[in-house]
Amino acid sequence: MINMRFLFVFSALMSMFVHSALAGQRLTLTGSSTIAPLVLEIGKRFEQQNVGVRVDVQTGGSSRGISDARTGLADIGMVSRVLHESEADLKAHAIAVDGVSMVLHRDNNIDTLCNDQIRDIYTGKIRNWRELGGADQQITVVNKAEGRSTLELFLAYFGLRNSQIRASVVIGDNQQGIKTIAGNAGAIGYVSIGAAEFVEYEGAPIKRLRMNGIQASTAQVRAGSFPLSRPLNLVTAGEPDELAQRFIRFAQGPDVDDLIESQFFVPLEH
């Protein structure tokens, strides 16, 4: 009984010590706009469990996440892709998995495009939906800005250089791309599957295209069958400090799986 009481008191004191040590601390995360909404929700829950800690989340693209983690402007960078060989100085901590989907307006009667057709649209060889069996309507090509991981993944998958793209509109984050496509029946773009699935569920007039005959969905990403999939990473310059380490462990744990699934991403296996 004495031992049990001692352990209880010791555990309580240690918990008080940890919370006291963390009180007033601030954790800054910058980078990927795909990851940011999820990390914002994870941060709110982390703050609730760590009184006095403030989690600050800022977007700006995966390139910013890389740069800020390296220079110390951020404690943690958010990067929605695999790290490159040139980024071996950083450490990646996966928190979820996502895919990238080609997206059209819901009123467009095209339901699938092959890879060659997508290349031809983005390089300006096909300029009207009529050429693909659709309506007589000019194609509005929506491309991502430099520094966005979705752009890198798109270019690598289709074997293109950004200089080859004939874009009508250049956008930053997923929400900007979704709004552009939802407001233009002739538009085509590519965004996070999780982001697209979420806004479709909310009623946005967009639709995801099949890729190689495979439905662009969270379920297919979970099954490992969707060709354009990627990890959602938190990155640090070497080993994170105690607070950042606690946050990363929390973001990788089962206590946030509901937040990950609510934003239509795929949780890690635990």
The Cα–Cα gap between 80 and 103 comes to 19
Rounding to the nearest 10 degrees, give the CA dihedral for residues 78, 190, 193, 84. Answer: -40
Task: List the CATH number of the domain containing 206.
Answer: 3.40.190.10
Its domain, for residue 42, covers 2-97+229-267
Q: How far apart are CA 237 and CA 74, in angstroms?
A: 10
For residue range 205-224, list pLDDT tens digits in order.
999 999 888 999 999 999 99
Beta bridge partners of 77: 30, 235
Q: Examine the domain organization and report whether 261 and 205 are in the same domain.
A: no
Same-domain status, 259 and 199: no
Q: What is the pTM of this model?
A: 0.78
pLDDT in tens, 212-258: 889 999 999 999 999 899 999 999 998 999 999 999 999 999 999 99
Number of domains in the chain: 2
Find where tokens 């990927």 sit. Answer: 32
Asked if 242 and 131 sit in the same domain, the reply is: no
103 and 92 part of one domain? no
- Which residue would you say has higher pLDDT here, 8 or 141? 141
At residue 1 the predicted structure's pLDDT band, cuts being 50, 70 and 90, is very low
Specify whether 107 is located in the same domain as 185. Answer: yes
Shared domain check, 104 and 92: no
Separation in Å, CA 183 to CA 29, 102, 129, 132, 206? 31, 16, 17, 21, 9
In terms of domains, do 233 and 249 share one? yes
Give the C-alpha distances (Å, rounded to integers) separating 15 from 167, 246, 254. Answer: 54, 14, 21
> Radius of gyration of the chain from Cα atoms?
21
> Are 56 and 152 members of one domain?
no
Q: Are residues 177 and 116 in the same domain?
A: yes
For 31-45, write each residue's pLDDT tens digit.
999 999 999 999 999
